[in-house]
Structure 1
Amino acid sequence: MFGMSINEDNNEIQFCFPNNNLSCVKDSKPKVEYTILYIFVSLLSVFAVFLNLLVIISISHFRQLHTPTNMIVLSLAVADLIVGMIVIPLMGIRFIESCWYFGETFCSVFSFIAYTVVSVSLGNLVFVSVDRYIAVSDPLRYTVRVTTDRIVICIVINWLCCCVYSVIMLYNTMFYPETHDGCYGHCTIFFKFEHFVTDLIVTFVAPSCVILSIYVKIFCVAKHQAKFANSVTGVSKSQRKAGKTLGIVVMVYFMCWIPFYIVTLIEGNESTESMGYNITLWILYLNSCMNPLIYSLFYKWFRISAKHILTLRIFKPSSEYFNLFPEDK
């Protein structure tokens, strides 16, 4: 049945693996649609990798940027870089070709990577909100309570916990893919509805509630401090500006992710074939490009460091000591 070609309405049905009797059917698309989709996926991947590399190189290279807050931004950029370098290209090929050409083993590895970086990103945003709350509510003791070493430890724990959680949630998909009914050339994560609801609460609802409650407290503290604006130092103003910028990062994250969760919750596992699912999925991936764009709009240091990188000035002796905050002179 699967080994033969079938002619229906003058359109030959194609299979992902013509020589395999269990092969999935390959969706046929017009050549123009193929071209447009591949251009879109390629540009999205390139932009995500390029912009997040700028963030990673900036924070890693310039000594002035070695702050606790920027360590969290660096971790977030690494997660977004993985999305741009691995998740977007492979998901793009699977979406356009409607086939998975990379084998069952790599399907499991890919699912693990994609699931982990999502969890890591949200964990980083929780750390960002806590960091900003301490900076605004207790600025005098901030440098004592929040150190780079402590933040690095928290980031490592976050990545490890997300890896372990991903293995637990994807255990059957990763180690027993044959238990799921499906044709050869298919790569999809299967969840029972109750598991999906549990995962939704653990990896999105609960962290989101924590983040939002902390930012409400930050807003209240900032409103109270505004009454004493004349006594606010330049450092605390800088901290509050950073809090505002990172707050925008959090809100953009929610705007990209909430539609995806709503569609998946409503449609369940069948949503992988729907137009709504695919649209919200690619909106979700756009988030990996958004954070560096937000930094470029609100952080002058990012624009200066990007200029140094793109003009290759970072290869000059002692370039790591360049001043990225000229207004401080």
Structure 2
Amino acid sequence: MDDTVNYRKNLTVQYCFPGNSASCRKEVRSGPGNILLFIVLSCVSVCTVFLNLLVIISISHFKQLHTPTNLLILSLAVADLLVGMFVMPVKIMQLRDSCWYLGETACSVSLVINGSSMGASLYSLVLIAVDRYIAVSDPLLYSTRITVSKTSLFISLGWSLGLLFIIIYLYLNDHLLPSQIISRCYGECVVSVKHSWVIVDLVLCFLAPCSVILILYSIIFIAARRQAKAVRAVTDASKRHGSANSSETKAAKTLGIVIFVYLACFIPYYISSLSVESVTTSLMVYTVFVWVICLNSSVNPLIYAIFYPWFRTSVKFIVTCRIFKFSSSRFNLLPARF
């Protein structure tokens, strides 16, 4: 009984627009637990924006980092920046009192930004896997096969396809145009996705990219082990054995982190979406699992950038404002080897 009373105190029913008779009722979530949750989620959003901004500034500013691989990391960081800057704050706002105050047009725009940014993030992950696969399988011809111009083209194509897919996806589910959105009351921005399109989304946005990443990274790992064995065969075992084992261990750890984070963030959402006839964004379970997916945008810069030595060096230049010095864009971030 006491728990029920406390819950009702923490969940006060009000109206989104008190002066409008068609206004939705809002559920104001208060209490120490909810306040702590909002603070934590806000910190996650700020950290996501900050980390990805560091990656974007580093790669954009320093000419030494203008390589095909780093362009892919830049694309990933831009997509994740949009998640942290637009998607997460909107989710926090809706979680706070369940109301939408920005109008139907903004509702449609937010859905497009949400879907296209997450889609671009996934596509960038796939391109990074393809890039690393070519670099390992054909290192001698890598520089001729993978160029900055070709990479830029594929990045542009990926963003365009992601945007096109989310527009079609929302249009066919009657959530793209303001005239299509049917709300039960004024002050609502809820998406209900048909089960058939849940299957399409599962195949195109999870199974396909996940399979590509798993297969390519498995091949990369096998190739790395093969190369390590070749090094041991032609060098002094006493001097090189430790280095080779270290390379294998590092490759295994990187592979494990990439696969684990990717699967851990997306599997819960798709399992839950298959268990219902239609996915509705008003469901609390949907909110939780979407936040888990958003966390992938916070972890991505840690996996693909912070583990790179050049990133740690560039952050020092940025934090100390040395990037404002004349010709700072030509600084050598890795004097020993790059």
Moved more, 295-304 or 154-163: 295-304
Counterpart pick for 2:335 among 314, 318, 326: 326
Q: Residue 186 of structure 2 aligns with which residue?
A: 184
Moved more, 27-36 or 124-133: 27-36
| Structure 1 position 176, deviation (Å) | 5.2
| Structure 1 position 298, deviation (Å) | 1.9
Moved more, 217-226 or 98-107: 217-226
Moved more, 47-56 or 25-34: 25-34
User: Deviations along 1:10-52, whole A, 9 cap, x unmatched?
Assistant: 9863111112222211113224345323312321111111110
Q: Residue 260 of structure 1 aligns with which residue?
A: 269
Q: Residue 175 of structure 1 aligns with which residue?
A: 177
TM-score by length of 1: 0.88
User: Deviations along 1:71-105, whole A, 9 cap, x unmatched?
Assistant: 00000000000111111101110111111111111
| Structure 1 position 268, deviation (Å) | 5.0
| Structure 1 position 322, deviation (Å) | 1.5
Contact 1:245–1:298 (CA under 8 A) maintained in structure 2: no
Q: Residue 197 of structure 1 aligns with which residue?
A: 199
Q: For the residues of structure 1 that align with 2:255 and 2:20, how far apart are their CA atoms?
A: 50
Aligned amino acid, residue 259 of structure 1: P
Q: Measured at CA, do residues 258 and 214 of structure 1 come closer, stay the same or move farther in structure 2, by a change above 3 Å?
A: same
Q: For the residues of structure 2 that align with 1:98 and 1:69, how far apart are their CA atoms?
A: 41
TM-score by length of 2: 0.85
Q: For the residues of structure 2 that align with 1:246 and 1:145, how far apart are their CA atoms?
A: 24
Q: Residue 303 of structure 1 aligns with which residue?
A: 312
Aligned amino acid, residue 306 of structure 1: V
Q: Residue 321 of structure 2 aligns with which residue?
A: 312
Q: For the residues of structure 1 that align with 2:196 and 2:292, how far apart are their CA atoms?
A: 25
Contact 1:76–1:124 (CA under 8 A) maintained in structure 2: yes
TM alignment of 1:104-253, pairs within 5 A:
104-171=104-171, 172-175=174-177, 177-178=179-180, 180-230=182-232, 245=254, 248-253=257-262
Q: For the residues of structure 2 that align with 1:249 and 1:62, how far apart are their CA atoms?
A: 26
Considering only aligned residues, what root-mean-square deviation do their CA atoms show, in Å? 2.7
Q: Measured at CA, do residues 220 and 177 of structure 1 come closer, stay the same or move farther in structure 2, by a change above 3 Å?
A: farther
| Structure 1 position 208, deviation (Å) | 1.3
Q: For the residues of structure 1 that align with 2:334 and 2:255, how far apart are their CA atoms?
A: 19
Contact 2:49–2:81 (CA under 8 A) maintained in structure 1: yes
In structure 2, list runs of 5 or more residues that go unmatched.
Answer: 1-7, 236-242
Q: Measured at CA, do residues 13 and 182 of structure 1 come closer, stay the same or move farther in structure 2, by a change above 3 Å?
A: same
Q: Residue 83 of structure 1 aligns with which residue?
A: 83
Q: Measured at CA, do residues 189 and 140 of structure 1 come closer, stay the same or move farther in structure 2, by a change above 3 Å?
A: same
Aligned amino acid, residue 111 of structure 2: S
- Percent identical among aligned pairs is 47
- The answer to whether the aligner puts 1:283 opposite 2:292 as a matched pair is yes
- The answer to whether the aligner puts 1:96 opposite 2:96 as a matched pair is yes
In structure 1, list runs of 5 or more residues that go unmatched.
Answer: 1-8
Q: Measured at CA, do residues 325 and 264 of structure 1 come closer, stay the same or move farther in structure 2, by a change above 3 Å?
A: same
